[in-house]
Amino acid sequence: MGSESRSLLLSRAVAHIAAHGVSGLSLRGLATAIGTSHRMLIYHFGSMDGLLVEVVRHVEERQRAALATLTRDSVSSPAEAIRKMWERLADPALWPVERLFFELYGQALQGRPGTVRVLEGVVDSWVDLTVELAADWGVPAEVARTHARLGVAVVRGLLLDLLATGDRAGADAAVAAFAAAYEQGLPGAPRATPADPGALPG
């Protein structure tokens, strides 16, 4: 038991929760499922809430790493980058962990002990990365930061919509419209015509 690393236990916990969710899950039950003891989980994570927060933060880090690969060398446009990232986030395999994210997010906003750490960088880490990527497309940092904050809000809102309704087609269409409108609003972008898919009036 003493040789078990924190990172290994965290990876096992992420995999188990992604497969089974957290409904009715106890620390002892999770420990048994991933082949360790509840004492070892307490040693590394402090509590069940502490472990769940680290699960969410770990998955968020993985998603940001995926976003970081969507550079100008790998996608043809910012709109394509938005759509590709959405496809990843909307994968049903991630839904159990994403439900957990929103649950802990709400608890942290209420100040529930053990969950507040989930708020650390929950917006800024995504905004900062998006600003870096936008610079590759020639978007000024002050413009990119405002756009990035809006993008985080839109994607998270649509992800919550998807989890609540299961309407993948509707959420996909909304993301596509947002991506097209975002790209159209970039400095130097040609003005959309009424025939352009996703073009906004006015």
Per-residue pLDDT of the chain (202 residues; tens, 9 = 90+): 444 699 999 999 999 999 988 888 899 999 999 999 999 999 999 999 999 999 999 999 999 999 999 999 999 999 999 999 999 999 999 999 999 999 999 999 999 989 999 999 999 999 999 999 999 988 888 889 999 999 999 999 999 999 999 999 999 999 999 999 988 877 665 544 444 544 443 3
Q: What is the DSSP string of the chain?
A: -TT--HHHHHHHHHHHHHHH-STT--HHHHHHHTTS-HHHHHHHHSSHHHHHHHHHHHHHHHHHHHHHT--TTT-SSHHHHHHHHHHHHT-GGGHHHHHHHHHHHHHHHTT-TTTGGGGTTTTHHHHHHHHHHHHTTT--HHHHHHHHHHHHHHHHHHHHHHHHH--HHHHHHHHHHHHHHHHHTSTTPPPP-TTSTTPPP-
Query: Cα–Cα distances in Å, from 155 out to 48, 65, 79?
Result: 28, 17, 13
The residues, any chain, with a CB within 8 Å of residue 81's CB and separated by 6 or more, are 67, 70, 75, 133
pLDDT at 41: 94
pLDDT at 3: 46
Distance of CA 3 to the CA centre of its chain: 31
Phi-psi region of 21 (alpha: psi -120 to 50; beta: other; left: phi over 0): left
Distance of CA 76 to the CA centre of its chain: 22
pLDDT at 87: 97
**CA–CA separation, 41 and 54 (whole Å):** 12
Say what the pTM is. Answer: 0.85
pLDDT at 184: 86
